[in-house]
Chains A and B, each alone.
Chain A
Amino acid sequence: MTTTTPAVSPLDLDDKLALYRMQLALRLFEQRAYDMFLENLVKGTSHLSLGQEAIAAGVAAAMKPTDWTFATYRGHAHTLARGVPMTPVLAELLGRSNGLMAGKGGSMHLTSVEHGVMGSYAIIGAHLPIACGAAWSAQFRGTDQVAVCFFGDGSTNIGAFHEALNFAAIWKLPVVFVCENNLWMEYTRTTEVTAVENPAADRASAYGLESIMVDGNDADAVYEVAAAAIARARAGEGPSMIEAKTYRHGGHSRADPGKYRPDSEVAEWLAKDPIPRYHTRLLELGASEDQLVEIERDVVREVDLATEQAKAGGVPGEDLLMKDVWADGGSSWRN
């Protein structure tokens, strides 16, 4: 497919400082969520984006407020990156009534329609076709909205992935698929169970799409490919698929120590941590150390405040239990 890439506006220093702040916010939020999991305050499960923050932050920086995000169970970062405040997200993880969905969804289903976060989905691959539907609706109504859909490397082997790519391509839908290739699907190395080396990029050509790969630990690079893909989608040029290489610093979920991964691999990727890298870049671009320290202090304050407010949240009441199965707000199935 030949594509004409519409011009992408480059990020200036202020934009980059904001991008740094966002990455740091995602990092410190996830660390707090992990600590609170170990304290048994975060119940059930949670899947952190520690180490992968540059992707959620970089892509979100390229989106308009009216665009839509479709995330996975590993979706705290993607939700926060769209501007959802930390308190309701953390409170949702704690199962409190001030949670984003009042405790009815939990960590894996973060949704904030008012911020364009159209759900986090925990059945592998299911949200790719759903993102196609939102994109179809934008196309049908003639709005310039774009749907952006995040998923992991392991999710490229399920049928819904392939159905969605073909569907998006034939209908030329304004959707951008972003594969966060962190090399692992739970406890198995994805290349061990995948026919190609690059699980998303190598499949793109099968659907007439360009093969786009990017360093997922470089927020600026992510921003650039995302902005170009989003611009193409907005211009009616159809879908794109981006494969962003990255690594999760922690385990798959909960308290998984991730011991199945060789130490050398972990060390190699820790050295490529997106946040110190971005810090160094900002200093080279002329930001001052003081500025960056102030940003960090500000983020710490935000996380601490969210922690306090989330913990202070109430227990969801029985009134919520039977609410909102149906659009009339109720759950009645008989008269």
Chain B
Amino acid sequence: MTFPLPSQSKASNAAVVMITSSAIWGLLAAGLQTLSTIQLLLPVLSYFAPIPVLDYGHLAPAVSFLLIYGWITSGLLGVLMILVPRFSGIPFRYGRLLTGGAILWQVGVLSGLTGILGEGGTGIPFLPFLRPVTCIFLVSFLVLGTGITRGLGGSWKSGPLLPRLYLLGALISFPLGLGTAELLLRGGTTPGAVQIIVQLVWASVLQHLWLSPLALVLLFQLIPAMTGRATSSLSLGVLAWITTLGLGGWLSNTLASEGPLPSWLQSAGVVATLLLFVAVLGNGILLQPLLEGKMEEIKRNVALRFMSVGAWSYLAAYGWLAFLALPGVRQTTVFTMTSNTTQTLLIFLFWGSVLSGSVYALLPVARNMGWPSHPALTWHFWFTTIGAGMMVSGYALAGIFQGLALNDPGVPMGTVASYLRPFLVVVLIGQIVWWVGQMAFSSLLFSSLLKLFPSTAPMAVFPSENPASTTR
């Protein structure tokens, strides 16, 4: 596929900062994650060498922080900085300012990480860092988000609507949510019982109103561009968008323990999860015909391959959440590793695959470069997909057995832990395999950016070269 060589945009350096840092954080996070799984498998290690930084209680929050704020958020913001000026036709100005914002985000990730590994986390899910780090993230987002929004507003009418709708929702939900959570959770005035509710709302907002919508922007923009087909029903798409936005912020209530949470909130969470899954199926109906019969192209184009795994994982992740929300299931699986399953489905398979696909499709556009036709491309795809698949199935089985055992008071806690062991071995192997895949990607990324390879097979996809992307 050929494409006109556009002049390097002002955002290009900022995007490269975000994308390369994202790759490094992903690698580091997966490495630390393997260490934390080893700790769970062999608790005796912590008796031989009790080192605070390598302790499970420090590693686990550091890993989830790095995955979400380092790998996924950096990466998605990076590819959007390439995509948005192109689909809007409005180039960024103030390139240096954007690069500064991008570097500041990485400073935030680094200080968050050192804080969690050194001093320890805050215990609050998805807000494991202290107030100064929140401020760094908000200031950085002010710069990056304003840059992206500018391109959005000026060009509302000139391209497909769905990606714009999801982008708008995400760009507003994140800063408002982070700011509100910070004030309510650490302002010192919110009563304890209400803090629990705020924590759950923030968890929902971050996952279902920020990261999932960002991934949907890329799915709805790039898949039509790559397959040359337009999404069929706009009204179904808009309906699914409204449902996602209206209900996404209620989902985490389902997964909470009922005691400390008012029971109507929990029921509302169950209803929201089930209805949102219907909306997700609606989006599935829109995405499926775009990919149908395109097997040849999916095989050839690594970007499209990752995007279709992302699309299927989107359905799987929300289907799994709906399954966990069913009343009988919820009683058994609350407080188990089924939540690791959810996280792996969302982070590694849905957001992560969409991120990888988008980097393959968009980075060449920003840097006038091509990806070499190197086997590392295929390794990246198969290792990360199979690795993540192993993690998901290992965690799911571990979680279900753990839930059944916890609900049988006759089984002592020590025995519950031993039930987990065989499944955690599968998870561990999956994590190592994934790490190898990410390593293949990182070496490809850095050598391509440094133009170490002759770019024999450029496979960039540029949305605006395709007529389908400009029709509604």
A, B bound: no
B interface residue numbers (CB < 8 A to A): none
- Chain A interface (Cβ < 8 Å from any Cβ of B): none
